[in-house]
Amino acid sequence: MTTEPDRPVRAAGALLAGLAVALGAFGAHALKARLGAEALGWWQTAVQYQLAHGVALVALGGLAWSRARLPALLLGAGAALFAATLYAMALGAPRWLGAVTPLGGAAMIAGWALLAWRAIRRELP
């Protein structure tokens, strides 16, 4: 276990969360009149998952758990992929892109599961 906070994980989480706030505001103000209800729903779902996982990365990065690095990577990459595909579809990308979205969701689930497993095995404080 390291004794220093994981600064890159915290920075990635802060960027992910900050971007979620900006994109949420953009959706609420600039896109509300331009997108249909389904597309706005995709946008909102993307913002929610991105923000929640950004905050999770900030928390993980601040706890100095070297065993949390892989779960953090899965959470961050999964959230980015999940949100990016939803944002793209909301803006008019082909709907088949929605087939990629669950890969991001699976990565997030794997990150949380691995984090739980490591906590149960006392590999994390």
pLDDT tens string 78-121:
999 999 999 999 999 999 999 999 999 999 999 999 999 988 98
pTM of the model: 0.91
Closest CA to 54 of 32, 31, 80: 80
> What DSSP state is assigned to residue 36?
-
Alpha helices in the chain (DSSP H): 7-26, 37-62, 69-90, 101-120
Q: Biggest alpha carbon distance in the chain?
A: 50
pLDDT class of 2 with cuts at 50, 70, 90: low
Question: How far apart are the two ends of the chain, measured CA to CA in Å?
Answer: 9
